[in-house]
Chain A
Amino acid sequence: MHPVVSIMLQRLALGLMTLFFVSIIIFMAIEMLPGDFTQAVLGQAATEETVAAFRRELGLDQPAYIRYFDWVGGVLQGDFGTSFSGRASSGVDRSREVVDLIGPRLANTLFLAGMTAVIAVPLALLLGITAALWRGSLYDRAVNATTLSTISMPEFFVAYILILFLGSLYPVFPSLANVSADTPFWERVYRCALPAMTLTLVIVAHMMRMTRAAIINLLASPYIEMARLKGLSATRVILFHALPNAWAPIVNVIAFNLAYLIVGVVVVEVVFVYPGIGQLMVDAVTTRDIPVVQACALIFAATYILLNLLADIISIVTNPRLLHPR
């Protein structure tokens, strides 16, 4: 088998394994709850029958491994179970399907993340590569100092500074990003401007620094020096000698930061009251609505793992050393 294929299959298997273990950990969340959580969900006045029915609905009368496969089977078919909230002690069940809660919000989050990525990735690569090429110049130092201080700031600090200047002092953009399913596209972009800007600032800083480090590392390698000593032009050295080897680190940087975006999105959604999945998760944590928390955690973790897997595979596929084995 071609080495690329076998390495790719290895990575794929490893990624699926990780996903499997992660799903077990997330499933265990409900196992780790104290025994009396049914009372906490249904209220103190819950009757014996209501509690028993609730426990049967959750399948607590069955062994854990059967429930795990039930849960995973449901998730694969898009069924994340039923939310804990909306249940009354009398047995009246006004709870909603977790999927109905998550569906529209997931779309909103993906929109915000996608909008950020479209702005941030090209910007960061441009800044990173130029800073690496003009290393030590005033431009490099200025970009470096700015990004270092952005990295050290909590996301909500960046968000509130933007709100202060662009939302409050000079009201250019709305400081609450309230969108709904029928908001037209450009209106949506306008309302998402501040959250997307916040995320962009945070991500670009990380991405730019990592790109710069990767390129500098690469430019220091002997074969680049050889190409320079041969008298090739700077453009040729970069485009034909450095870039083929640079794809792997750059793709890794992008994937790593898009994965980081997942975490950043939680805080930013709360700041701007954006109806996304991150805010849903935080609300569910406050009310200890475990099925919703599990579903959100699984979605975040799966995205994270898949992004990293994708980066791994792309960096394998683009690695010239693996493509032309000796």
Chain B
Amino acid sequence: MSESEGYSAAAEVGAVRMRRSWRERAWIELKKAPFTAWLGLVIILAYVFVAIFAPWLAPYGEADAQFGAYEPWSGAHVFGTDQIGRDILSRLIYGARNTIGIALATTLLAFLIGGSLALVAAISRGWIDQVLSRAVDVLISIPSLIFALMLLSIYGSTTLSLIVIIAVLDSTRVFRLGRAVAMNVVVMDYVEAARLRGEGLGWIMRREILPNIMPPLVAEFGLRFCFVFLTIAALSFLGVGIQPPTADWGSMVRENASLIQFAQFDLRAGITPLLPAAAIAILTIAVNFVVDWFLMKTSGLRDEP
């Protein structure tokens, strides 16, 4: 409260009120959140819980192939077993850990690369910006799944090359958005002031610009995660992504796909290959719900009037 002269009701009330802690503010926002956002949050938390505690939750090991192949649903194997006799429920649970973990690592790496290059381009402008932007223009003009397939054929399908390739390809999208929003911020007076003060590039990036472009970047993080998650699932489904025996939802769909032909005789067998695919879909929908709510919250950005 800056106004000091005379009586101000706001000042009196403001003086008594304690500053709400981060947790309290988050809770107040959450209470106002729509049902879909709640649903999304609960689903995401459930996935994270399963991913973290996978070894304690799974009834059998990840690559434990000691049972008969294609056993039906039963008490011992809730969703049956797969083509070489591994428990499907256990692989679903471990798959949460592998699939989400790899997608998360990829998204983080993509943001690290794309975000920092975007800030560098926005701050220094000039030829650095030109070179980076044109390079991104070229890279973005190849569909990323096709590009990823080509690079995987060169470097082979290891988990590390998968993470690096997808992260580099997706960092171009992050770069585009990051540069666009950072461009609006770098022209502000306080950035100029920091520059005149003699602050280095690192300081300006971290302390002046990053806090001001956080909301769109956080929303983009959610959407990017979905995209990366779906890309990795697609690649694994095609057999060139995460390799066996690592349990992964994309490759699980492929491995059990033939079961779907038996749906007429045993509906539950027909549903089995759909379970990992549904797991992927539910998580993406949940993240989308939360991102929608977050976007509405931070920028009022929504297409509804």
Contacts and interface: CB of A to CB of B under 8 A. Distances in A.
Interface in B229-248: 230, 233-234, 237-240
A293 interface: yes
A155 B230 CA distance: 9
Interface in B165-214: none
Nearest to B261: A168
B64 interface: no
B298 to A, nearest CB: 19
B143 A304 contact: yes
Interface stretch (A25-33, A94-102, A110-118, A193-201): A25-33
Q: Which 3 A-B pairs have the closest CB atoms?
A: A157-B277, A152-B284, A168-B263
Interface string A162-184: 01100111000001000000000
A270 interface: yes
A12 interface: no
Interface in B111-148: 137-139, 141-147
Interface residues of A, number: 56
B42 to A, nearest CB: 17
Contacts of A286: 239-240
A154 B230 contact: yes
Interface stretch (A50-58, A67-75, A260-268): A260-268
B145 A263 contact: yes
A164 B138 contact: no
B103 interface: no
Interface stretch (B11-19, B76-84, B268-276): B268-276
Contacts of A297: 142, 146-147, 149-150
Contacts, number: 150
Contacts of A212: 303
A305 B284 contact: no
Interface string B263-288: 11001001101100110110011001
Contacts of B24: none
Given A18-B141, A22-B138, A259-B143, A160 B284 contact: no
A168 B150 contact: no
25 contacts: A22-B142, A29-B151, A29-B154, A32-B155, A152-B226, A153-B284, A155-B234, A157-B253, A157-B277, A157-B278, A157-B280, A160-B260, A160-B273, A160-B274, A161-B274, A167-B260, A169-B267, A175-B260, A266-B146, A266-B149, A282-B149, A282-B240, A293-B149, A297-B147, A304-B142
Contacts of A293: 149-150, 153
A282 B238 contact: yes
A251 B250 CA distance: 34
A293 B155 CA distance: 13
A108 interface: no
B230 A169 contact: no
Contact of B153 (A21, A152, A267, A284): A284
Interface of A: 18, 21-22, 25-26, 29, 32-33, 135-136, 148-149, 151-157, 160-161, 163-164, 167-169, 175, 212-213, 216-217, 220, 259, 262-263, 266-267, 270-271, 281-282, 284-286, 288-290, 293-294, 296-297, 300-301, 304-305, 308
B234 A154 contact: yes
A25 B230 contact: no
Given A154-B230, A213-B303, A281-B149, A304 B141 contact: yes
Nearest to A132: B303
Contacts of A26: 150
Given A156-B237, A286-B239, A301 B270 contact: no
Given A18-B138, A216-B303, A293-B149, 15 more contacts: A29-B150, A29-B154, A152-B285, A153-B281, A157-B277, A157-B278, A164-B271, A168-B262, A175-B260, A212-B303, A262-B146, A263-B146, A266-B238, A288-B156, A290-B153
A247 B239 CA distance: 41
Contact of A168 (B141, B264, B278, B284): B264
B257 interface: yes
Nearest to A308: B141
The listed residue with most B CB atoms (<10 A of its CB), out of A168, A262, A284, A289, is A168
A22 B271 CA distance: 42
Nearest to B292: A148
B277 A154 contact: yes
A305 B234 contact: no
B304 interface: yes
B152 interface: yes
A123 B144 CA distance: 27
Nearest to B284: A152
B210 to A, nearest CB: 29
B263 to A, nearest CB: 4
B149 A301 contact: no
B237 A154 contact: yes
Contacts of A288: 153-154, 156
Interface string B283-305: 01100100000000000000111
B233 to A, nearest CB: 5
A300 B146 contact: yes
Contacts of A160: 253, 257, 260, 273-274, 277
A305 B141 contact: yes
A280 to B, nearest CB: 11
B154 A33 contact: yes
A259 to B, nearest CB: 7
A297 B277 CA distance: 27
Contacts of A281: 146, 149
Contact of A157 (B147, B261, B264, B274): B274
